[in-house]
């Protein structure tokens, strides 16, 4: 029997057309005929009409009406759906409604006539793309926007790709994109580059997507040849005003500027004795006449502070109320830097007179690049639903940033993109789900990860035509054999990564440069301490963890009560953040009765076991996936498993030098030698 | 509690003195006083007396009598033991008896006055050491005998090492050693080298060990500058007679010559149209006056034969009866080449008028070098106890070679040494057990592997002084916590290696040159077929295995009945040799109900699981082993585990290309990609 099944198994695979993943969640489905009625004309509406005609899966020979109204229940990009109609206040609203209608049809979900309004007004991608075409922390090939300084000419191929990019973003509600790295080159503001930005904006515009740029704060000096870039200097102010004017002359709907200032070596207002507010407001003034905004990043830290986790708060809180209303402070989800698990940044729910927006990282800088299968939606959901207690219980990060608690002039959310020239856009077919999920959560902060994974899997992998003899029974089989287990794998995947990388609140113990693989020992002499893992894990014979309680750095004091007290006590601090906030002895008693060292061992081991279970899940799904995507994901999972084992071995063997305790004997033994790992570094992967 | 135990655990380790393994199974033990009475004097007897005095663990203040008698029940090197006396016919017999007495005392075993006679008269090591100091298939550093052509001077350090070597060998009954590689350099017969051989012989002589040399058959031409090396040429005959005379003039008790002729590019009598018998007898004639012997290897095969496994038999059987009585045909245990599992060579139990000796390989050429922990005793025991049915049931390989069935003039057994300059002699502390086991089995073919492992572990690792407070309770604890599990690990280790390398009768699928790691696909164009793995595994869509039945190469026909018929039928062929003798379809039904492909998968997987269990066993034993040996073995086991996983992944993924069947889903998935393994080759290890 087994062998018979196996033969069927392999044959079934052959019938699925090989795919390179380029079509994302926008698979071509057989459409039914529809008449689309729309009295108004615009490029955006034309797209909506074409999409409906190409993808209609409602009743055959139906007619669908698109209506622009002034409905007060509908906000900004929102819409109202019924089975055969989309209503909105804007063309963009119609387009989003059309995509939602098609999604509901494909997912065979009910359409009940409700209004859908987005949670955030600005739902924006940050591309860390450099003018030379490289992508900082990009793992999916070179930039889709930039090639090299000498190749700024726009080709038809460029436009086709940008259009596909725009369509994918529009289909999940993303309406803005920052085209270049926050570690910005001043060149981006030169005429040649702005011309290419103009071309990109023209392709993106009908899809409702505004373009933004990252700027280097010292551009006036570097590009404008001024003597200073002091934000209070009249010439500097004039230079920026002119530059902004130039931009809007060629891109009338330009979105605004993103600034990484006084951070990790980037210039900023503090170089001239000015504050973040001075710098941000100067730019905001230049942008204001055109409706542009400034997104000013709060990712700042200096080498000598006793706790890097506290610095953004310390620098920005005193400036609360000093920022112009078209400035938004862009805050990473956690206080350090996109680690597999962090508590939410205390800046969320802290400032009361300043607009704040979350910055998530879609590209997997610290989460296994595009090799590890890690569905990030649960991580973002965890952050958005974290309670800051700013105005009592229920003051979630989401509500502190989406305008529910404070009436921000602008609400926004940013995601650092994971997109490159790779055929499948994201390097790993499952990394596409993170792009998708970011869009969906930006649209509705209350979406659940399980629902998002469900949608994405159906849109991306379901192909009824692979078995035409009995579509219904195939759908049932597909749901139980593919959808359910693969969805569970996605939902478990982030916790697995936390387990094999940084369980129990550990953080920043990764390899120094690539941020891939473990290097908890890395601390070359002369390196600034807050760039080295031992600064964060503080392992010693006495114990492990960073004391951020009132007896330590008092980072807990940046949080509102009752959270601060809860975090301050190891007995009430969530165990998954224990070593973030506490330095505890190796024999500290965990809630399950184990000592801390043993618990750490079991967590690392469970991460490895989880990845192994993912491999089984995927291998069992083989007959439901085309061979190209199947093999690609399978290969990545194999490497992920080896990586997980290496993480476990490296961290446990390293920490064991301090704990002096054996790894519990029911756990699979290390297969690497610590000295070898340290010596070989990346060659072990 | 767990943490308390753990602390004790780590502390206990510190109390054990670090050891580099150099003292082998001859650990220094506190001795009790003894008076040794011996009326005769000789260097060998002096050693026996000193050993007894240094190591006496019998009753304190006892006296022990050593007596040379002419006791007919005692044969050659044999002896008779009682609690306070050793009797023998020779000084060597006394020495072996003294070592046995000490061993019994250390092991606390009863001494019942019985006679112990060795199974084989000649118990010999073959060193594959080259004159430049390198060791072919050696994994424990360079040669202990040779440094380089320019460094033949004998130092005191050399002599000390050779004495330690001699003592170790004598303690397990080894009485001969071939000092150089069977792929011999003619240089070994030059005066400078013979002088060093003389020095080695002088150190080894008191320990009862004779030296032998490997010779290149074309030495008369290469070294003697004759026109030919034809064994029937008068000048050649004279040259060898002179050379042998020269040897005996400086080493009067020289043992004889080992010859690899007409094999793997080595010259031989067939180069001159002569037979193996012509060549061997010519050398035997030269040696005969001095009592020397010729060990002539049967390891021959030519590129064009249809089944390499048949060739030694085919070449040698017609010569049965044509060899001089001081020629012994040296036959490897299996028909191919020291594979993890082979059937016994059909030459055992075949020839009736020719002396035959088994050649085992102590160095782990195909069994993971000195990295993998593989106790080889069960493999040799399996071979020695295999029934050839030459004279009906019970005609084991042992009885066919030890003189029980045929009255051979000489009986002998050879082991290819695993010894080098490494501090611990063998590269891996557990590889020492294979040296020990070879000696013990050569002494008594009926010893059991379990008993040998038990002895070796007690002699090598038991150290009562590590816990002096309560020696008795420590011994009990040591037995249950160290001896039992570690012995089980040793006894399981060879089967584990077979499982993760070559289960079910697979063979010769290892990496082409290093013979380490898997390379079942290796078959570069132009390579002779019988050097490539596909020649041996014959995997195709139809199935896998080498058909050596009557419908195939008929290698089964070289075995006696009823074995031949048993092997010929897949239903009666032992499953652990199934694919050696049969080519079977992937869905062939195994005895446990699984199909062949699934069974293959489970076997490979079980090999990996076994190595993992060895790791646990060893880690749990930490407190009973000094830190140096503990870490060294631990590190090797870690690498062995990675290697086992690589073997499993490489073989299953490669064979899957033919089987087209999934690996059963309850098996841990591969973590390597086949293309990557093939591309990277050794870099994956």
Mean pLDDT, residues B395-410 = 94
Q: What is the pLDDT of residues B506-563, one digit of tens each?
A: 999 999 999 999 999 999 999 999 999 999 999 999 999 999 999 999 999 999 999 9
For chain A, how far is it from start to end, CA to CA, in angstroms?
Answer: 39
Is the CB of B3 less than 8 angstroms away from the CB of A595?
yes
Residue A594: list chain B partners with CB under 8 A.
Answer: 2
Quote the CA–CA distance of A554 and A548 in Å, as a whole number: 5
Q: What is the pLDDT of residues B553-603, one digit of tens each?
A: 999 999 999 999 999 999 999 999 999 999 999 999 999 999 999 999 999
H runs (alpha helix) in A149-258 = 156-171, 191-204, 219-222, 234-250
In A241-297, DSSP assigns E strands to 256-259, 293-297
What dihedral do alpha carbons A609, A612, A613, A617 form, nearest 10°? 170
Considering B91, B278, B307, B337, which one is annotated as catalytic? B337
Q: Does residue B10 surpass a pLDDT of 50?
A: no
Quote the CA–CA distance of A659 and A652 in Å, as a whole number: 10
What dihedral do alpha carbons B582, B584, B589, B591 form, nearest 10°? 20
Q: What's the ipTM?
A: 0.92
Q: What is the helix (H) or strand (E) element at residue A414, kind and residue range?
A: strand A412-416
- pLDDT value, residue A151: 79
- pLDDT value, residue A503: 98
Quote the CA–CA distance of A33 and A26 in Å, as a whole number: 19
Tell which residue, B149, B142, B159, has the closest CA to residue B188: B149
Facing B2 at nearest CB: one of A598, A622, A642:
A598
Helix axis angle, A449-461 relative to A432-443, nearest 10°? 130
State whether residue A14 is helix, strand or coil.
helix
Facing A9 at nearest CB: one of B10, B587, B662:
B662
- pLDDT value, residue A468: 54
Give the closest-approach CA distance of A449 to chain B in angstroms: 27
Helix axis angle, B191-204 relative to B156-171, nearest 10°? 50
- pLDDT value, residue A6: 42
Considering B264, B542, B673, B676, which one is annotated as catalytic? B264
Cis amide leading into A172 (omega within 30): no
Which of B2, B594, B632 is the best mutation test for A, with the most CBs of A within 10 A? B2
Phi and psi for B481 in degrees, rounded to 5?
Answer: -95, -25
Which of B4, B620, B671, B675 is the best mutation test for A, with the most CBs of A within 10 A? B671
Tell which residue, B483, B628, B622, B617, has the closest CA to residue A661: B622
Rg, Å, chain A Cα set: 25
Contact, B448 vs B459, CB < 8 A?
Answer: no
Residue B668: list chain A partners with CB under 8 A.
Answer: 612, 615
Quote the CA–CA distance of B184 and B620 in Å, as a whole number: 45
Q: Does residue B637 surpass a pLDDT of 60?
A: yes
- Distances from the Cα of A369 to the Cαs of A506, A618, B470, in angstroms? 19, 19, 56
Give the closest-approach CA distance of B3 to chain A in angstroms: 7
Quote the CA–CA distance of B582 and B552 in Å, as a whole number: 9
Is the CB of A638 less than 8 angstroms away from the CB of B665?
no
Phi and psi for B327 in degrees, rounded to 5?
Answer: -105, 135
Helix axis angle, A449-461 relative to A377-384, nearest 10°? 150
Mean pLDDT, residues B462-480 = 77
H runs (alpha helix) in A326-408 = 377-384, 397-401
- pLDDT value, residue B465: 60
Chain A within 8 Å of B569 (Cβ-Cβ)? no
Let me know the angle formed at the C-alpha of A520 by A517 and A524, rounded to the nearest 5 degrees: 110
Residue A7: list chain B partners with CB under 8 A.
Answer: 660-661
- pLDDT value, residue A114: 86
Contact, B609 vs B641, CB < 8 A?
Answer: no
Chain B within 8 Å of A323 (Cβ-Cβ)? no
Phi and psi for A595 in degrees, rounded to 5?
Answer: -80, 160
Chain A within 8 Å of B288 (Cβ-Cβ)? no
Nearest CA in chain A to B637: A671
- pLDDT value, residue B15: 54
- Which 2-41 residues of chain A touch chain B by CB within 8 A? 2-3, 6-7, 9-10
Burial class (CB in 10 A: 0-12, 13-18, 19+), A428: buried
Quote the CA–CA distance of B168 and B51 in Å, as a whole number: 12
Quote the CA–CA distance of A177 and A188 in Å, as a whole number: 15
Residue A585: list chain B partners with CB under 8 A.
Answer: none
Phi and psi for B334 in degrees, rounded to 5?
Answer: -115, 170
Residue A616: list chain B partners with CB under 8 A.
Answer: 665, 669
Q: What is the mean pLDDT of chain B?
A: 94
- Distances from the Cα of B557 to the Cαs of A310, B193, B333, B564, in angstroms? 82, 46, 18, 6
Cβ-based contacts under 8 A for chains A and B: 89
Give the closest-approach CA distance of A624 to chain B in angstroms: 14
Range with the poorest average pLDDT among A250-254, A363-367, B148-152, B232-236: B148-152
Phi and psi for B287 in degrees, rounded to 5?
Answer: -85, -25
Q: Which letter does DSSP use for residue B220 in this model? A: H
Quote the CA–CA distance of A440 and A376 in Å, as a whole number: 12
Cα B215 to its chain centre, rounded Å, is 21
- pLDDT value, residue A683: 42
Residue B586: list chain A partners with CB under 8 A.
Answer: 3
Which of A489, A646, A669, A676 is the best mutation test for B, with the most CBs of B within 10 A? A669
Mean pLDDT, residues B159-179 = 98
Chain B within 8 Å of A652 (Cβ-Cβ)? no
Catalytic residues of A: 264, 337, 365
* C-beta neighbour count of A664 within 10 angstroms: 16
Residue A10: list chain B partners with CB under 8 A.
Answer: 660-662
| Encoded tokens for A617 | 């899940």
H runs (alpha helix) in A358-470 = 377-384, 397-401, 432-443, 449-461
Burial class (CB in 10 A: 0-12, 13-18, 19+), A114: exposed
Is the CB of A598 less than 8 angstroms away from the CB of B672?
no
Instruction: Assign B152 a pLDDT band (cuts: 50, 70, 90).
Output: confident
Burial code (b: 16+ CB inside 10 Å, e: under 16) for B572-601 equals ebebbbbbbbbbbbbbbebeeebbbbbbbb
Burial class (CB in 10 A: 0-12, 13-18, 19+), A183: middle
Q: pTM of the entire structure?
A: 0.94
Residue B587: list chain A partners with CB under 8 A.
Answer: 3
Helix axis angle, A191-204 relative to A234-250, nearest 10°? 40
Chain A within 8 Å of B672 (Cβ-Cβ)? yes
Chain A within 8 Å of B679 (Cβ-Cβ)? no
Question: Could you please report the per-residue DSSP string of A610-658?
Answer: HHHHHHHHHHHTGGGS-HHHHHHHHHHHHHHHHHHHHHHHHHHHHHHHH
- Distances from the Cα of A583 to the Cαs of A26, A552, A571, in angstroms? 48, 9, 13
Is the CB of A661 less than 8 angstroms away from the CB of B10?
yes
Is the CB of B671 less than 8 angstroms away from the CB of A9?
no
Give A135's strand partners: A129
Residue B10: list chain A partners with CB under 8 A.
Answer: 660-662
* More confident site: B28 or A99: A99
Burial class (CB in 10 A: 0-12, 13-18, 19+), A472: exposed
Quote the CA–CA distance of A182 and A301 in Å, as a whole number: 16
Residue A587: list chain B partners with CB under 8 A.
Answer: 3
Cα B670 to its chain centre, rounded Å, is 33
Facing B619 at nearest CB: one of A619, A635, A669:
A669
Which residue ranges form the domains of chain B, and what is each CATH number?
Answer: 122-460 (3.20.20.80), 497-546+583-684 (3.90.1330.10)
Phi and psi for A297 in degrees, rounded to 5?
Answer: -75, 140
Is the CB of A3 less than 8 angstroms away from the CB of B595?
yes
Quote the CA–CA distance of A555 and A314 in Å, as a whole number: 10
Question: Could you please report the per-residue DSSP string of B592-648?
Answer: TS-BHHHHHHHHHHHHHHHHHHHHHHHHHTGGGS-HHHHHHHHHHHHHHHHHHHHHH
Mean pLDDT, residues B311-330 = 96
Chain B within 8 Å of A615 (Cβ-Cβ)? yes
- pLDDT value, residue B284: 98
Give the closest-approach CA distance of A684 to chain B in angstroms: 9
Contact, B608 vs B644, CB < 8 A?
Answer: yes
Sites in chain A below the pLDDT cut of 50:
1-14, 466, 682-685
- Distances from the Cα of B287 to the Cαs of B237, B242, B254, B319, B354, in angstroms? 11, 10, 10, 21, 18
Q: Does residue B476 surpass a pLDDT of 70?
A: yes
- pLDDT value, residue A148: 79
**A567 Cβ partners below 8 Å, 6+ apart?**
A343, A549, A556, A559, A573, A577, A581
Give A327's strand partners: A294
- pLDDT value, residue B236: 98
Q: What is the pLDDT of residues B428-451, one digit of tens each?
A: 999 999 999 999 999 999 999 999
Is the CB of A669 less than 8 angstroms away from the CB of B638?
yes
Dihedral sign computed on CA atoms, order A162, A164, A167, A169? negative
Tell which residue, A182, A180, A219, has the closest CA to residue A197: A180
Chain A within 8 Å of B668 (Cβ-Cβ)? yes
Cα A667 to its chain centre, rounded Å, is 34
State whether residue B296 is helix, strand or coil.
strand
């Amino acid at each position: 029997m087994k062998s018979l099944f196996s033969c069927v198994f392999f044959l079934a695979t052959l019938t699925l057309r090989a795919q390179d993943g380029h079509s994302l969640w926008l698979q071509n489905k057989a459409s039914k005929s529809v008449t689309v009625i729309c009295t108004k004309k615009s490029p955006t509406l034309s797209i909506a009409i074409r999409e409906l005609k190409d993808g209609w899966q409602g009743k055959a020979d139906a007619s669908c009406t698109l209506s622009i109204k002034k409905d007060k229940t509908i906000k900004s990009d929102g819409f109202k759906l019924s089975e055969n109609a989309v209503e909105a206040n804007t063309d963009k609203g119609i387009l989003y409604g059309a995509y939602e209608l098609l999604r509901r049809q494909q997912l065979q979900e009910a359409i009940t006539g409700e209004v859908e309004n987005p949670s955030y007004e600005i739902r924006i991608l940050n591309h860390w793309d450099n003018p030379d075409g490289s992508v900082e922390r990009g793992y999916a090939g070179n930039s889709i926007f930039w090639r090299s300084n000498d190749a700024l000419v726009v080709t038809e191929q460029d436009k086709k790709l940008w259009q596909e990019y725009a369509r994918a973003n529009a289909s999940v509600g993303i309406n803005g994109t920052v085209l270049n790295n926050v570690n910005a080159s001043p060149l981006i503001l030169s005429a040649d580059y702005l011309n290419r930005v103009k071309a990109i904006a023209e392709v993106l515009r009908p899809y409702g997507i505004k373009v933004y740029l990252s700027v280097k704060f010292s551009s006036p000096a570097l590009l404008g040849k001024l003597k200073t870039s002091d934000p209070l200097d009249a010439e500097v102010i004039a230079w920026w005003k002119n530059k902004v004017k130039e931009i809007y002359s060629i891109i009338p709907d330009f979105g605004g500027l993103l600034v990484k200032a006084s951070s990790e070596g980037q210039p900023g207002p503090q170089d001239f004795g000015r504050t973040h507010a001075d710098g941000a407001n100067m730019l905001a003034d230049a942008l204001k006449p055109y409706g542009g905004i400034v997104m000013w990043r709060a990712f700042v830290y200096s080498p000598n502070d006793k706790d890097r986790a506290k610095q953004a708060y310390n620098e920005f809180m005193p400036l609360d109320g000093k920022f112009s209303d078209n400035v938004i402070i862009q805050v990473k989800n956690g206080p350090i830097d996109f680690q597999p698990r962090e508590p939410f940044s205390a800046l969320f729910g802290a400032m009361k007179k300043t607009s704040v927006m979350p910055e998530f990282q879609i590209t997997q800088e610290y989460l296994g690049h595009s090799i590890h299968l890690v569905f990030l939606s649960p991580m973002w959901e965890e952050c958005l639903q974290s309670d800051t207690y700013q105005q009592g219980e229920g003051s979630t990060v989401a509500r502190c940033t989406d305008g529910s608690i404070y009436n921000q002039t602008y609400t926004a959310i940013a995601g650092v993109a994971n997109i490159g020239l790779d055929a499948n856009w994201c390097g790993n077919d499952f990394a596409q789900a993170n792009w998708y999920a970011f869009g969906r959560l930006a649209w509705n902060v209350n979406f659940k990860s399980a629902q998002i994974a469900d949608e994405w899997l159906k849109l991306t992998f379901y192909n009824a035509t692979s078995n035409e003899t009995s579509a219904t029974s195939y759908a049932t089989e597909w749901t139980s054999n593919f959808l359910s287990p693969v969805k569970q794998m996605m939902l478990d995947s982030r916790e697995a990564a936390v387990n094999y990388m940084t369980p129990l609140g550990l953080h920043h113990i990764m390899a120094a440069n690539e941020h891939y693989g473990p290097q908890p020992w890395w601390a070359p002499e002369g390196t600034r301490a807050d760039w080295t893992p031992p600064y964060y894990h503080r392992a010693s014979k006495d114990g492990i963890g960073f004391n951020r309680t009132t007896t330590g750095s008092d980072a807990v004091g940046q949080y509102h009560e009752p959270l601060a007290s809860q975090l301050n006590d190891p007995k009430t601090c969530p165990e998954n953040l224990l070593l973030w906030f506490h330095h505890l002895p190796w024999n500290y008693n965990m809630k399950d009765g184990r000592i801390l060292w043993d618990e750490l061992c079991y967590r690392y081991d469970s991460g490895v076991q989880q990845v192994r279970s993912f491999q089984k899940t995927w291998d069992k799904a083989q007959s439901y996936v085309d061979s190209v995507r199947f093999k690609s994901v399978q290969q990545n999972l194999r490497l992920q498993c080896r990586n997980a084992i290496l993480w476990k071995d490296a961290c446990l063997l390293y920490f064991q030098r301090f704990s002096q305790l054996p790894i519990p004997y029911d756990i699979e033994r290390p297969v690497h030698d610590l000295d070898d790992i340290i010596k070989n570094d990346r060659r072990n992967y």
